[in-house]
Amino acid sequence: MNMLRFLGLAVSAVIGGVCVVVLFVVVLLASFGAVLTGSGGPAGGGSVITGASASDTQIATSAQVLEERVYGLMSNEYSISHDPIMQSVYQFWVDSCGFNGVICDVAVSGNLQCVEFVTGAFYLSGMRLPYVGDAITFWPNYAHQPGWVRIATTNGYPQPGDMVIWQGGHFGHIAIVMEVEKPTSGHAGFVTVAQGNGQGNRWDAAHLQNPGNWYTMPLHQDGTLETWPGYQVLGYIRHQGA
């Protein structure tokens, strides 16, 4: 399932009706105010795209909006028919990682990778990431990014809008935190993430193909998370503004 991400520098040029859609989405997300609550291993898989800031709530809610539009056993399929939000994200992927107007392989429906899901969610929030590469490479490359901070699992709990970085497989995995319940004495908390190309656990076995199948992990007091076999959460990458 691991696929190499199409490499290269790309600057997104989003114009006309697409801009109108994104502006509408950003305003809509800002009005939400809160994120709704709610196993197989994932795959991860650089270019540079930069842009404006977004609030943690906007990022988390944008991730949920996108998660509710992807489906399939690995949450890597989508449709752009009659969906202006998904059409806008699709055009962003064409512009940011495609070539000659053709979408990149790692953003094609049926092969949507976790990194492209994350870039699409940030795009919906009105923000472009300063670095994009294979999932595991986010961890070292955001160590000194202005306006960003890394939090190892042993150094703090996540918050909505954080990027979560897994070590495992060839490329690691990345997702966006939607909701956090901190652990209490004697009771584990949980972290719920939105993701692409990873099997969620919101739905039962009969409905795993449905959209919106986000993934919830038990969160222990020492900061560790229970996740897929062979994978380990390294920590979180949080936007703090430039």
Q: At what angle do helices 16-32 and 84-97 cross, to 10 degrees?
A: 120
Q: Token match 């949080």: residue?
A: 238
Provide the 8-state DSSP code for 147. Answer: T
* % the chain with pLDDT above 70: 77
Do 215 and 203 meet the contact criterion of CB atoms below 8 Å apart? no
Q: Give the tokens for residue 72.
A: 């399939």
Q: What is the 3-state secondary structure (H, E, C) of 43-109?
A: CCCCECCCCCCCCHHHHHHHHHHHHCCEECCCCCEECCCCCHHHHHHHHHHHHHHCECCECCHHHCC
**Exposed/middle/buried for 186, CB within 10 Å: 0-12, 13-18, 19+?**
exposed
- Phi, psi for residue 204 in degrees, rounded to 5: -80, 175
CB 94, CB 103: distance < 8 Å: yes
Cα gap 175→167, rounded to integer Å: 12
Pair 10, 47: CB distance under 8 Å: yes
Mean pLDDT, residues 117-133 taken together: 97
More confident residue, 242 or 59: 59
Which tens digit of pLDDT belongs to each residue from 58-93?
Answer: 999 999 999 999 999 999 999 999 999 999 999 999
Residue carrying structure tokens 């697409």: 18
Mean pLDDT of the chain: 84
Q: Which of 42-51, 70-79, 96-105, 152-161 has the lowest mean pLDDT?
A: 42-51
Contacts of 11 (CB under 8 A, 6+ apart): 49, 95, 96
Band (pLDDT 50/70/90 cuts) for residue 212 is very high
Q: What is the pLDDT of residues 16-58, one digit of tens each?
A: 343 344 444 444 444 333 333 333 556 554 333 334 467 999 9
DSSP 136: G
Report d(CA 136, CA 141) in Å as an integer: 9
Integer-rounded Cα radius of gyration of the chain? 16
Which residue has better confidence, 86 or 15? 86
Q: Which two tokens stand for residue 156?
A: 């703090």
